[in-house]
Amino acid sequence: MDYPIHKILNNTFGYKEFRLDQEEIINNVLAGNDSLVIMPTGGGKSLCFQIPALAKSGLTLVVSPLIALMNDQVSALKQLNVKAAALHSNTDIGEKNSVFQAIQNKRLDLLYVSPEKLSTPNFLQYLSTIDVTLFAIDEAHCVSIWGNDFRPEYVKLKILKKQFPKTPLIALTATADKATQEDIKKQLGISDSKTFLSSFERKNISVEARPGLKRIEQIIRFIQKSPDESGIIYCLSKKSCETVEKKLKDYKINAAYYHAGMSSEERNLIQRRFQDDDIQVICATIAFGMGIDKPNIRWVIHYNMPKNVEGYYQEIGRGGRDGEKARALLFYSWADMTMLQRFVDESNASFEFKKVQSAKLDRIWQYSNTLNCRTNFILNYFGEYRSDPCGHCDNCLNPPKFIDGTQYTQMALSAIIRSNEKIGINLLIDVLRGSQKQEIRNQRLDQIKTFGVGRMIPTSHWHYYINQMISQGIIQIDFSDYSRLKKTPLSADVLKNKTKIQLAEFVKREKAKPPKIEKLDLDYTGIDKDLFQKLRTWRASIAKAKGVPAFTVFHDKTLKQIAVSTPTSEIELLAIDGIGHAKLMNYGPALLEIITAHNG
């Protein structure tokens, strides 16, 4: 059978080619098979069910966990003249009626619903009376307790395959390790389905991790280097979202905070303004992001360490969805690690669950501290084994230089042992540096032999080195004893000079030349910046008038291409990625008018 899927891609969506596994996935769906799709954020998962929805008659039902996300997708689809609608707790009765009317008249291709709505007996009964061609489960990792964001209401989706065994089902997620992938299939009853695992590498994102010292100063310097670019700063608590926001505002940075303590109206407003480029920086808890589809986020900073690699990768994946360059910067510290470990220990979860969470926490800590390619660390984590360096992480771009750190390690170990293994990392550094703090004198730590022997090494360097000693297993951090530092079975040989210890040298960031990764190198080659600005202003006015997010009118990327090639006819406009028939009809004349006026 010949499905016109390329035609739909070109004419409706305005895209020239399929990406990653899109075509193969779409064909699998159209052949009536179930599929599990693991594709990184921004990879283009939505087309994998939107195109089949248009290629076949009948209704495609999309389950999505967040109302904001549904509404954005529906309004983006409507702009393309696709017949789509959403049903959720905020849909009013009039709208509801017209949705059902449209289904009855076979005038709807895609219906987005919340999992709660879908699993009600009435709704399931109703579905059996109409022609459903496909079920699409977005954010499918929510169905698994091994996943990163388990949602009990997703578990009920089991019923779909039981009640409609012949209707194909496609489950999509950007975040699932091996165990979670298997569990999703089991939970949804699609064990025999094909798994499409696209490469998780996001080549346009450069990743970096730094010890969490003087974070605010570092962040401000970072933002000042890319003054007009949108970014997200993820914090662990509501309070730190607010403090970070306040500090940024002191530096005249256009920032806002976002967390679960705010009303949903407040949150929606902030999100909308961020999407419309009205707010540059959002300081948020992880409550922010799942519902956000903003293609031009240029950087993501983790002010605190995330609780696992899945969460981290999903969060940084919100950067650079338009395929242009983006940066991810992670700050890590023992304080975060200790706090996250406490969250796990104090939760009401089962012993088994806590064990998994602790192991995941260990892995993100190893990631933070690795001196090898970070991208490979992540790919290996997700089961995509590779050892060639990525060339876009800090360790690849500025490989660490190693020094003989045996003596430093001996100093640290000796201070730990002489203080009877009763001190944590900060106090240890105080002892090594000969600090005059009251606490030191109270505990008579100034009396021990190693007091002040590491005076010549700055505090930040000590942090960096001690972390490495811990990662190498020469020192351990005892979470069950106030995170005090202790010796390990490997310590003795170091003290006896039997093993040599290599440490990556601390490089002061400002002096590290050239700081290749510091430059946000957007590709503006050949662009008429003036025209680009005019197009953005025009887009903002259209978005406002229509009450839709700006990116659903056009992506930055599309406007940029226009500002490079300055098309003067409809045919030329159609050649641009992101302009299909509907967009040409709606906006073509306005675009050509702007370009002509600009060319004068």
Q: Which residues bind Zn ion (CB under 5 A)?
A: 373, 375, 389-390, 393, 396
Which residue's Cβ lies closest to ligand ADP? Answer: 44
Stretch that binds ligand ADP, among 14-22, 261-269, 488-496, 564-572 (CB under 6 A): 14-22
Residues facing 26 on adjacent strands: none
Stretch that binds ligand ADP, among 18-26, 248-256, 265-273, 280-288 (CB under 6 A): 18-26
What single string gives the DSSP state of each residue in 173-207?
ES---HHHHHHHHHHHT-TTSEEEE-----TTEEE
Residue 295 touches ligand ADP, criterion: CB under 6 A: yes
Give the shortest CB-377-to-Zn ion separation in angstroms.
Answer: 9
Taking CB under 6 A as the criterion, which residues in 254-293 touch ligand ADP? 293
Residue 127 touches ligand ADP, criterion: CB under 6 A: no
Give the shortest CB-322-to-Zn ion separation in angstroms.
Answer: 22
Q: Omega into 65 within 30° of 0, i.e. cis?
A: no
Stretch that binds ligand ADP, among 38-46, 183-191, 401-409, 591-599 (CB under 6 A): 38-46
- Interatomic CA distance for residues 50 and 8, integer angstroms: 10
Stretch that binds ligand ADP, among 44-52, 53-61, 451-459, 589-597 (CB under 6 A): 44-52
Question: Helix (H, G, I), strand (E, B), or coil: what is residue 411?
Answer: helix
Give the shortest CB-378-to-ligand ADP separation in angstroms.
Answer: 17
Residue 198 touches ligand ADP, criterion: CB under 6 A: no
Whether the CB-CB separation of 108 and 102 falls below 8 Å is answered with: yes
Question: Smaller CB distance to ligand ADP: residue 113 or 412?
Answer: 113
Of ligand ADP, Zn ion, none, which one sits near residue 476, judging by CB under 5 to 8 A according to partner kind? Answer: none
Among 5, 8, 12, 18, binds ligand ADP (CB under 6 A): 18
Among 5, 36, 39, 190, binds ligand ADP (CB under 6 A): 39
Burial class (CB in 10 A: 0-12, 13-18, 19+), 537: exposed
* HSE, side-chain direction, 13 A CA sphere, residue 486: 11
* HSE, side-chain direction, 13 A CA sphere, residue 333: 16
Q: Please state, as a whole number, how many other Cβ atoms lie within 10 Å of the Cβ of residue 494.
A: 23
Of Zn ion, ligand ADP, none, which one sits near residue 321, judging by CB under 5 to 8 A according to partner kind? Answer: ligand ADP
Give the shortest CB-428-to-ligand ADP separation in angstroms.
Answer: 44
- Interatomic CA distance for residues 419 and 448, integer angstroms: 7
Of ligand ADP, Zn ion, none, which one sits near residue 306, judging by CB under 5 to 8 A according to partner kind? Answer: none
Give the shortest CB-321-to-Zn ion separation in angstroms.
Answer: 21
Residue 231 touches ligand ADP, criterion: CB under 6 A: no
Among 28, 41, 206, 467, binds ligand ADP (CB under 6 A): 41
What single string gives the DSSP state of each residue in 274-317?
HHTTS--EEEE-TTSSTT---TTEEEEEESS--SSHHHHHHHHT
Q: Which two structure tokens, joined as six digits, stand for 255?
A: 């920032």
Q: Which two structure tokens, joined as six digits, stand for 385?
A: 């084994």
Question: Smaller CB distance to Zn ion: residue 130 or 371?
Answer: 371
Stretch that binds ligand ADP, among 40-48, 106-114, 177-185, 403-411 (CB under 6 A): 40-48
Whether the CB-CB separation of 303 and 253 falls below 8 Å is answered with: no
Q: Which two structure tokens, joined as six digits, stand for 549?
A: 């997010």
Question: Smaller CB distance to ligand ADP: residue 43 or 405?
Answer: 43
Core vs surface per residue 412-445: b (16+ CB within 10 A) or e:
bbbbbbbbeeebbbbbbbbbbbebeeeebeebeb
- φ, ψ at 213 (rounded to 5°): -115, 140
Among 21, 36, 44, 425, binds ligand ADP (CB under 6 A): 44
Tell me how far the alpha carbon of residue 592 is from its chain's centroid: 36
Q: Which two structure tokens, joined as six digits, stand for 43?
A: 């990879």
Residue 501 touches ligand ADP, criterion: CB under 6 A: no
- Interatomic CA distance for residues 246 and 392, integer angstroms: 32
Question: Smaller CB distance to ligand ADP: residue 42 or 567?
Answer: 42
- Interatomic CA distance for residues 5 and 10, integer angstroms: 9
Of Zn ion, ligand ADP, none, which one sits near residue 41, judging by CB under 5 to 8 A according to partner kind? Answer: ligand ADP
Give the shortest CB-47-to-ligand ADP separation in angstroms.
Answer: 5
Give the shortest CB-386-to-ligand ADP separation in angstroms.
Answer: 21
**Given strand 194-197, what is the order of strands in its sheet?**
84-87, 110-113, 59-63, 132-137, 169-173, 35-38, 194-197
Of ligand ADP, Zn ion, none, which one sits near residue 390, judging by CB under 5 to 8 A according to partner kind? Answer: Zn ion
Whether the CB-CB separation of 156 and 122 falls below 8 Å is answered with: no
Residue 321 touches ligand ADP, criterion: CB under 6 A: yes
Residue 45 touches ligand ADP, criterion: CB under 6 A: yes
Stretch that binds ligand ADP, among 10-18, 128-136, 198-206, 389-397 (CB under 6 A): 10-18
Taking CB under 6 A as the criterion, which residues in 46-65 touch ligand ADP? 46-47
Give the shortest CB-79-to-ligand ADP separation in angstroms.
Answer: 11
Question: Helix (H, G, I), strand (E, B), or coil: what is residue 543?
Answer: helix
Give the shortest CB-367-to-Zn ion separation in angstroms.
Answer: 12
Q: Please state, as a whole number, how many other Cβ atoms lie within 10 Å of the Cβ of residue 148.
A: 25
Question: Smaller CB distance to ligand ADP: residue 25 or 428?
Answer: 25
Residue 320 touches ligand ADP, criterion: CB under 6 A: no
Give the shortest CB-376-to-Zn ion separation in angstroms.
Answer: 6
Residue 202 touches ligand ADP, criterion: CB under 6 A: no
Stretch that binds ligand ADP, among 11-19, 139-147, 233-241, 435-443 (CB under 6 A): 11-19
Of ligand ADP, Zn ion, none, which one sits near residue 393, judging by CB under 5 to 8 A according to partner kind? Answer: Zn ion
Question: Smaller CB distance to Zn ion: residue 235 or 393?
Answer: 393
Among 8, 15, 170, 305, binds ligand ADP (CB under 6 A): 15
Q: In whole angstroms, how far apart are CA 160 and each of 70, 135, 169, 175, 392?
A: 20, 8, 9, 22, 42
Q: Please state, as a whole number, how many other Cβ atoms lie within 10 Å of the Cβ of residue 225.
A: 14
CA angle 244, 202, 257 (to 5 degrees): 20
Residue 462 touches ligand ADP, criterion: CB under 6 A: no
**Residues in contact with ligand ADP by the rule CB under 6 A:** 15, 17-19, 22, 39, 41-47, 293, 295, 321, 577
